[in-house]
Amino acid sequence: MSFAVDTNVLLRSIDDGHVAQPIAQKGLFALRDRGETLSIFRQNLIEFWAVATRPVANNGLGLNTAEAETELINLKKLFVLLPDTPDIFPEWERIVLQFKVSGKQAHDARLVAAMIVHDVSHLLTFNTSDFKSFTTITAVNPQSILNQ
């Protein structure tokens, strides 16, 4: 089985003091210990940067750009960074039309498209409900990994 890691899990894994930090970290470690491949996409890194460098008062992590750069370097070392390919956009387009996607969920659909193109079956995310309409992948909450 292969796992993509959603941006919210990446962010929580470094968010010192957040109640979800240990769950994110332990879930990632448990999957790695099971020998699962953990992948991310460039989209994750862009979303990570946006939230990590946003002020805490605006629901961000408040990192400066040097701190965010260090975190990006670490993420690229810890996870398999799968490439953007020309096949992702047509798959995204098919998904948004098939599932009648609108608004912010278009970003989730792009992640699902990249997963399909790269044959990644599972997504580790705290927002499983955001992905329940995408029947081609399985969204898994880190807490459920710890409960197994």
Residue 121 inside a domain? The answer is yes
**Residue 144: inside a domain, yes or no?**
no
What is the domain count for the chain?
1
| Integer angstrom CA distances of residue 121 from 44, 99, 134 | 17, 18, 11
**pTM (2 decimals)?**
0.95
71 contacts 40 by C-beta, under 8 angstroms: no
Enumerate helices (H) and strands (E) in the chain, giving the number of each. 7, 5
At 81, list the tokens: 């960074």
Q: Is residue 71 part of a domain?
A: yes
The answer to the question of residue 147 being in a domain is no
Residue 145 lies in a domain: no
- Condensed to tens digits (0 to 9), the pLDDT of residues 61-99 reads 999 999 999 999 999 999 999 999 999 999 999 999 999
Mean pLDDT confidence for 120-138: 96
Residue 102 domain-assigned (yes or no): yes
Supply the mean pLDDT for the chain: 96
Q: Please provide residue 4's backbone torsions phi and psi, each rounded to the nearest 5 degrees.
A: -95, 155
Say whether pLDDT at 148 is over 90: no
User: What domain range includes position 117?
Assistant: 2-139
Q: Are 36 and 1 in contact (CB under 8 A)?
A: yes
The domain that holds 16 is classified in CATH as 3.40.50.1010
Is 92 among the domain residues? yes
In a domain, 146, yes or no: no
